[in-house]
Amino acid sequence: MALYLIGDVQGCDSALQQLLNKISFSPSRDTLFLLGDLVNRGPDSAAVLRRLMGYGAAAQCLLGNHDLHLLAAAVGARKPSRKDTLAGVLLAPDREAMLAWLRAQRMAMLLEHQNHPYLMVHAGVLPDWTAEQTIALAAEVESLLRGPDLGDFLYQMYDNQPDAWNEGLRGTARLRLIVNALTRLRFCSALGVMEFDAKEGKDNAPPGFMPWFDVPGRKTAEVTVAFGHWSTLGWLDRTDVLALDSGCVWGGSLSALKLGNDSRSHELIQVKCAQAQKPGQ
């Protein structure tokens, strides 16, 4: 049985098919862990969702900012932009089944593999959060996703405030901060204040900010955090972080990391993606 971590697919079903062919994926034997942004900007988000739904438990999926954007568009909380490619889902006869499946997915996962923990998120983790706390906070959002109040939250989801964690946060403000950290974070300050405007690589941090994974004293430094979201960062292989968004939808590659017995035996597998989008999020 092989375990694979896969970066942002963003509706590129043909690239996903090529990648799965290349790794000889078998849903009866292997498990895929997709790190969010399953949909949008690519040509066939509906095909991606139908494919992953068909794999059942063999495809363990996180939600990214584009997946939540789809849910918001579906309830009218956000109008699709001209760059969005969500109509194939929103106008599909099986639309409700796909949206229901999305709502059942995870915001964070913790995997124990060969006696080493891997924390999986779409974007990032605030420096004050432990791996266990991250999973607990993600569960708060997952409960909302599966409950009757999701629509109300989606109307209030799009805001950058609050921008720093406070255990006393409650209600919408708390949930919004958790969502923003898990699905949008790239840079933050040493005190954990999040910055959402900068989208360049890690060496182009705004003054006073740094990549979230380089904050001194980060409480998840003892686990390996695997994430996507940051296409301008690209593939990053460190003992404490694995970045797997290699910009498939922007003409880059779709990446899968086959987990080995230790960090030295992981295997990176990539396929080129023939997209003509301009870089951005």
Annotated domain spans of the chain: 3-272
Nearest to residue 231, comparing CAs of 188, 266, 275?
275
| pLDDT (0 to 100) of residue 80 | 83
Class for the domain spanning 3-272 = alpha beta
Question: What are the mean pLDDT values of the chain's consecutive 10-residue runs (281 residues total)?
Answer: 97 97 97 98 97 98 98 94 94 98 98 95 98 98 98 98 98 98 98 96 95 98 97 95 96 96 90 65 43
pLDDT at 275: 62
Instruction: Check if the beta carbon of residue 57 is closer than 8 Å to that of residue 85.
Output: no
Provide the 3-class DSSP secondary structure of residue 74: helix
Report pLDDT for 279. 43
* pLDDT at residue 14, rounded to an integer: 96
Tokens matching residue 245: 């968004």
pLDDT at 281: 43
Alpha carbon of residue 54 to chain centroid: 20
For position 263, what pLDDT does the model report? 76
The two three-digit tokens of residue 230, written as one number: 């940051």
pTM for this one?
A: 0.95
pLDDT of residue 107: 98
